[in-house]
Structure 1
């Protein structure tokens, strides 16, 4: 099925002003140490030869829903902003205290807060000062080429500039030498596929539930 999909992905080559613009699909399948597909793994490609890539226009929204961060893992390009949206009927106090992307704000029920532009590429852990079981991550990357794997463990990046890239797989629960795996690849303008399998079992995602049974008042 994977081979058939790749055959159906056509290479586009369009002449514009004497130059050629490539559009190639980079298909990545991420597998566990046992060979099963992994969902919600962040996949991104960093240019290694000075390829000039446009800034991503993708809008990142992180909701607070049922006293959890939704989604648990998000990804955005450095330089973009984040919209936090409280879907709960109670107040949250969202914070991140590590690295360059520190923030700390109260968001009332049904309200939204747009966080300032992400200044640096790094992994950001988020929490809530009111509901201490809430945790979530977002990854700020130095490239517009990013996505997450689907339920089949597949991610597709559309690459418009040929050359060498560092293909990176990231998840906060990965237990490799670091929480990411990288591989140098060369994009020629033709569609290509890469299978990446983890070496070790992943850690469990923390349970996003209140363990003490106390419900918090919206008047916080």
Structure 2
């Protein structure tokens, strides 16, 4: 027992047992310990599906979601890097051009429509992504360039690496909707949606998408 807590008990004991019991209850009712959630993203062939976006939604998660600092999606060797970027709604994104050729970045998606006309270097103003969903990006000069910005309303999100396993740290125990999305899905396909409960000691699960991992 910590010294400060012991002192409080000695002072308050004059008021009777009921108050001491209440003090114990208040002292022990701290916030729930955050857990780690591991999600294995797999294709229909059972193989890891890299670049799958995984996130947990709930009313509490939405309230806790805050825009991060300005994010970046670069253009390197005529590719968007990273190819898939996940941001919390309200986050601004810069699109620096690291190539020696100029690019013309745009999106016609309902989630975010914008255009950065032919430029080199980094445009002065970042782009604000203020609506949840998926924005598909392209370059008006190089048709083979494509990227995706996924806008979510939760701090619990990640993109699967080569192993296909996404680790979501600091997840408060509770009930969530487990969502998963991949760029290989047909255009307009929403993220999968599954009820999911996170216990105090964390959880491991997997999601399967109707894609052949080896073909992606």
Q: TM-score, normalised by structure 1?
A: 0.76
Distance 1:34 1:175, change over 3 A: farther
1:109 aligns with 2:120: yes
Out of 167, 189, 192, the position equivalent to 1:156 is 167
1:40 aligns with 2:39: no
- Listed one character per residue, the Cα deviations across residues 159-213 of structure 1 (whole Å, up to 9, x for unaligned) are 44322111111112125993532211112222110022234436966xxxxxxxx
Out of 155, 162, 178, the position equivalent to 1:167 is 178
Out of 157, 161, 167, the position equivalent to 1:146 is 157
- Flag structure 1 segments of 5+ consecutive residues without an equivalent: 1-14, 206-220
User: Hey, which bits of structure 1, 4+ residues long, moved more than 6 A?
Assistant: none
1:94 aligns with 2:112: no
Would you tell me which structure has more helix in proportion to its own residues? 2
1 CA distance for matches of 2:204 and 2:160? 14
Task: Report deviation, 1:51.
Answer: 6.7
Contact 1:93 1:105 in 2 (8 A): yes
Task: Report deviation, 1:49.
Answer: 5.8
Contact 2:51 2:160 in 1 (8 A): yes
Give the structure with higher Rg (CA).
Answer: 2
1:132 aligns with 2:132: no
Out of 120, 130, 144, the position equivalent to 1:119 is 130
1 CA distance for matches of 2:111 and 2:50? 28
2 CA distance for matches of 1:176 and 1:133? 17
- 2:23 — aligned with what? none
Contact 2:111 2:134 in 1 (8 A): no
1 CA distance for matches of 2:163 and 2:83? 18
Distance 1:146 1:133, change over 3 A: same
1 CA distance for matches of 2:200 and 2:67? 20
2 CA distance for matches of 1:25 and 1:82? 28
- 1:81 — aligned with what? 92
- 1:208 — aligned with what? none
Contact 2:37 2:169 in 1 (8 A): yes
2 CA distance for matches of 1:51 and 1:127? 29
Q: TM-score, normalised by structure 2?
A: 0.77
Task: Report deviation, 1:44.
Answer: 0.6
Contact 1:174 1:201 in 2 (8 A): no
1 CA distance for matches of 2:89 and 2:147? 18
- 1:214 — aligned with what? none
